[in-house]
């Protein structure tokens, strides 16, 4: 009855305001006229608070202080589509957490900063998130290059960062015991993945031509695989690198074709791979293609939907298979209208389970979520996930999740094998 009386009073007050201030509704911002173009984005890192669903407090209970989560990712530039996928995963995770009442009553607020895939701008993002945005943890540092560049700045500000898809081994070789205490990683690194994939490659072909993106991820992936293949007598006939967003691979492909390799080994993301594979098919190449990155993914299939046969037979060792978490696939599809992107799924799991658990531990143990209490809590996190298996950190703050082998067959993604990375 008390709630009804309050509701009636609110309705009457609203009607009264409408009569007394008839022009009140006109104070809302005007819509952008159709056909106009919004102001161009700047190239400098920009932090904005993302909208999240925050439940109302219980009656007569004061709302608890929000917990601000930063993210330093590539929302624009040649790799901007990857950062947008990461942002989707993080946003969805926070929306779900807030819809359930937050973490011990504290709503989460996501504060993204766009570094446009540039290491120097990533450094600026970390400084801005620490000094201006007052975040207590950073969820994702973008890619290997931007995260490596950010690591000294994390130490300077004593601010933890959870890497969720960055694979260069240096990130955790230099982290944890005897190193940077503020960096953690949930996904497998290049060394772990190379050791799990090398035997498979050696059994498939006795020679390879390699092509990798020209950054710390691409170079690191080749550097870790090269000695493992050499030890098994597998010859690398050529080693080439490309720039993200590159439109023409034909000169490299022509040279590869002349070398007649037993296989092609790619370190590449989905959209670049779609361009590469079209030109690979145009030149009539038949060497089997093996990959690391996001080639055997829903993103690649979407980029080649005009000809589903383009990716036929590609085998990839990748960070996760969304087919392992059907419930996540359904929720992601309902929220964003697409099947989950690899990077979106990885960032969702890192935020929804790992960081959420660490924040709850910090609140229970210390009564507050600070950078130091969250850092300490991350060391004790242990969660089981459908997508990645058990996630907990070793002395170097590296998790040891499963990785998967997948293949495109008949325009569909087929899970071949799940491999441990211990």
- Of the two residues 61 and 89, the one the predictor is more confident about is 89
pLDDT grade for 200, boundaries at 50, 70 and 90: very high
Question: Mean pLDDT, to the nearest integer, of 174-194?
Answer: 95
* Separation of alpha carbons 249 and 271, rounded Å: 13
pLDDT value, residue 32: 36
Residue 335's CB is within 10 A of a number of other CB atoms, namely 15
What CATH number labels 191-318? 3.40.50.2300
CA distances, 6 to each of 1, 3, 9, 12, 55 (Å): 9, 5, 5, 10, 19
Dmax over CA atoms of the chain, in Å, equals: 86
pLDDT value, residue 49: 43
Which tens digit of pLDDT belongs to each residue from 275-334?
999 999 999 999 999 999 999 999 999 999 999 999 999 999 999 999 999 999 999 999
pLDDT grade for 57, boundaries at 50, 70 and 90: low
* Separation of alpha carbons 226 and 71, rounded Å: 33
Q: Is the pLDDT of residue 70 over 80?
A: yes
Q: Give me the residue label for tokens 């950010």.
A: 150
Read off the tokens for 219.
Answer: 């170079």
Return the CATH class of domain 67-188+325-402: alpha beta
pLDDT value, residue 45: 57
Element (H, E) at 239: strand 235-242
Topology agreement, domain 67-188+325-402 and domain 191-318 = yes
Read off the tokens for 166.
Answer: 């960055």
Residues 168 and 217 sit within 8 Å (Cβ to Cβ): yes
CA distances, 39 to each of 32, 36, 76, 112 (Å): 11, 10, 15, 19
The structural domains of the chain, with segments of one domain joined by +, span: 67-188+325-402, 191-318
Question: Mean pLDDT, to the nearest integer, of 183-207?
Answer: 95
Residues 291 and 266 sit within 8 Å (Cβ to Cβ): yes
Q: Is the pLDDT of residue 12 over 60?
A: no
pLDDT value, residue 38: 37
Q: What is the pTM of this model?
A: 0.83
Which tens digit of pLDDT belongs to each residue from 33-54?
333 333 333 344 554 444 455 5
pLDDT value, residue 82: 95
* Separation of alpha carbons 161 and 183, rounded Å: 5
pLDDT value, residue 420: 82
Q: Give me the residue label for tokens 């009457």.
A: 12
């Amino acid at each position: 009855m008390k709630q009804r009386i309050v509701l009636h009073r609110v309705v009457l007050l609203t009607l009264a305001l409408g009569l007394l201030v008839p022009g009140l509704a006109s104070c809302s911002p005007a819509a952008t006229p159709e056909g106009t173009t919004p102001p161009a984005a700047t190239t400098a890192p920009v932090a904005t608070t993302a909208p999240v669903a925050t439940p109302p407090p219980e009656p007569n209970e004061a709302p608890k202080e929000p917990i601000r989560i930063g993210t330093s990712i590539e929302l624009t530039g040649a790799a901007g589509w990857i950062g947008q996928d990461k942002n989707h995963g993080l946003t969805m995770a926070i929306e779900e957490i807030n819809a359930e009442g937050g973490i011990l009553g504290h709503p989460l607020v996501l504060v993204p900063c766009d570094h446009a895939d540039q290491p120097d701008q990533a450094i600026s993002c970390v400084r801005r998130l620490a000094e201006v945005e007052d975040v207590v943890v950073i969820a994702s540092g973008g890619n290997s290059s931007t995260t490596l560049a950010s690591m000294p700045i994390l130490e300077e500000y004593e601010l933890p960062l959870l890497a969720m898809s960055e694979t260069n081994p240096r990130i955790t070789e230099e982290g944890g015991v005897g190193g940077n205490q503020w960096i953690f990683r949930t996904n497998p690194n290049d060394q772990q993945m190379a050791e799990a994939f090398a035997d498979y490659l050696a059994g498939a072909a006795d020679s390879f031509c390699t092509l990798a993106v020209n950054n710390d991820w691409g170079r690191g992936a080749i550097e870790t695989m090269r000695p493992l293949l050499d030890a098994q007598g597998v010859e690398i006939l050529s080693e080439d690198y490309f720039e993200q967003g590159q439109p023409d691979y034909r000169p490299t492909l022509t040279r590869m074709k002349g070398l007649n390799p037993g296989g092609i080994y790619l370190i590449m993301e989905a959209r670049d791979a779609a361009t590469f594979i079209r030109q690979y098919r145009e030149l009539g190449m038949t060497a089997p293609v093996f990959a690391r990155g996001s080639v055997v993914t829903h993103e690649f299939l979407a980029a080649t939907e005009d000809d589903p046969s383009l990716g036929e037979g590609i085998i990839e060792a990748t960070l996760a298979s969304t087919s392992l978490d059907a419930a996540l696939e359904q929720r992601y599809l309902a929220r964003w209208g697409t099947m989950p992107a690899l990077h979106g799924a990885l960032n969702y799991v890192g935020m929804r389970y790992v960081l959420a658990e660490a924040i709850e531990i910090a609140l229970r143990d210390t009564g507050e979520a600070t950078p130091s209490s969250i850092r300490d809590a991350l060391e004790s996190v242990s969660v089981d996930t459908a997508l990645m298996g058990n996630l907990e950190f070793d002395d170097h703050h590296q998790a040891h999740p499963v990785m998967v082998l997948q293949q495109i067959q008949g325009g569909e993604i087929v899970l071949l094998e799940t491999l441990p990375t211990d």
